[in-house]
Amino acid sequence: MQKEQNEFEMKVNIRVTPPGPKAKEIVSSDEKYLATSTKSIPMVGKRAKGVYVEDVDDNVFIDFAAGIGVLNMGHVHPYITEKVKEQLDRMWHFAGTDFYYKEQVDAARAIEDMMPGAFSKKIFFTNSGTESNEAALKFAKVSTRKQQFISFIGGFHGRTQGSLSFTASKGIQKKYLFPTMPGVEHVPFPNPYRNPFGIDGYEHPEELSNAAIEFIEKYTLNMYMPPENVAAFVVEPIQGEGGYIVPPMDFHKKLRKLADDNNILIIMDEVQAGFGRTGKFLASEHFGVAPQITSLAKAIANGIPMGAVVIDSKLDFPEPGLHSNTYGGNLIASVSCKATIEAMKKEGVIENAAKRGKHLRKRLEELQEKFDFIGDVRGIGLMQAVDFVKDRKTKEPAVKLRNEIEMNAFKSGIILLGTGESGIRLIPPLIITDAQIDEGMEVFEKGIKKSL
């Protein structure tokens, strides 16, 4: 009997050393027809289910990348798939910024119900994280009538020209692209592991937070960017592409106080950290803050392209025409978004992320004890990273080693992605079990040993 479309053995099984012959053929065609982007490993997916992916050569991998933090409910989730298929038979697209339909309202209500903050909210739907941040800066500019912004070194907020002006995680992201949007200044993020203040942020977190806030207040706002000009701080609760950097727990409250004291908004970029990944719906909830503007995307519709900006209703545009788009709140995406949130609630995956995150952290710290080139283990919930170094004292990044480990781990059967200069992020679907985490860590360790 022929196998069903997504039926395959749900465990790591490498039959042919990847990339196999079929994968190599597709990679070659990809290089011929598709523009250069950010591909790092020659993983060629064919089908997937839950936390596993089968490639075109019938190898089965465990997925600790989740489509770059997108597939929080796992691959081909049955309930979400069912709802999307139902909508495909009714209506695909109807331009929700110009016309009306219930599905977009339902998705907005579902998001609003999950958001922290005791104030009324409105939502603008987009198609991606970078587009969400582009919309966010418009809401900030229009509502404050101010034109400048402060962002953070190490932050990532997208690659379109407006959001790119906030991005500062890797030089290549801006190479040859000057000028971006003017009016953006960058300040140090309180990175506990590596920071320009020379403070051990793990030993002295409050001192590090104070140093970062003092820099903004004493130098940036006082000397060359008066608060009367600044519309918003643009910040991630936990830096994503910059290395999965978790700031001291008091930092965001102190930043919010500084912002409030100077009539400056906070745009919180939750594109990668939000939607349950850290064990709360928004990562900013760990820090006790509810931003006036929140950017969302990635996991919002479990793989259907979608983004959103959630704003304090008071910040809404005063008149039509200041912003719009064509595909935002698309019917298929809206249905998938609502179904994703419903499945998250029913299956308790946010709580699972908190519990499984502790187990994953324990396994990563065990690896750190075994290998002295693992300099740091950091993260919250199922948003974890390991940082590879040449020397634990100097913390010099071991970039080549990180790249070799990422590739050898892939060849062993685990899908991973780098982060920062020398880190690897571990962001499996939130439905993962302890047993699957153990399976993944065994494969990860195998990849590390192959790189020695």
3.40.50.2000, 3.60.15.10, 3.30.70.520, 3.90.1150.10: CATH of 21-63+349-450? 3.90.1150.10
Query: At residue 4, does pLDDT exceed 60?
Result: no
* Residue 291, number of CB atoms within 10 A of its CB: 28
Residues 6+ away with beta carbon under 8 Å from 59? 13, 14, 15, 16, 18, 20, 413
Query: At residue 395, does pLDDT exceed 80?
Result: yes
Query: At residue 157, does pLDDT exceed 60?
Result: yes
pLDDT 10s digits, 358-379: 999 999 999 999 999 999 999 9
pLDDT for the residue numbered 37: 96
Query: At residue 5, does pLDDT exceed 60?
Result: no
Q: How confident is the model at residue 1 (pLDDT cuts 50, 70, 90)?
A: very low
pLDDT for the residue numbered 8: 80
* Whether this model's pTM surpasses 0.85: yes
Q: What is the mean pLDDT of residues 101-119?
A: 98
Query: At residue 112, does pLDDT exceed 50?
Result: yes
Residue spans per domain, the chain: 21-63+349-450, 82-347
Query: At residue 394, does pLDDT exceed 50?
Result: yes
Q: What is the mean pLDDT of residues 257-278?
A: 98
Examine domains 21-63+349-450 and 82-347 and report if their fold is the same. Answer: no
Assigned CATH for 82-347:
3.40.640.10
pLDDT 10s digits, 328-338: 999 999 999 99
pLDDT for the residue numbered 360: 98
Q: With pLDDT > 90 as the criterion, what percentage of the chain qualifies?
A: 98
pLDDT 10s digits, 180-230: 999 999 999 999 999 999 999 999 999 999 999 999 999 999 999 999 999
Q: With pLDDT > 70 as the criterion, what percentage of the chain qualifies?
A: 99
pLDDT for the residue numbered 9: 82
pLDDT for the residue numbered 2: 38
Average of per-residue pLDDT values in the chain: 97
Q: How confident is the model at residue 3 (pLDDT cuts 50, 70, 90)?
A: very low
pLDDT for the residue numbered 6: 59
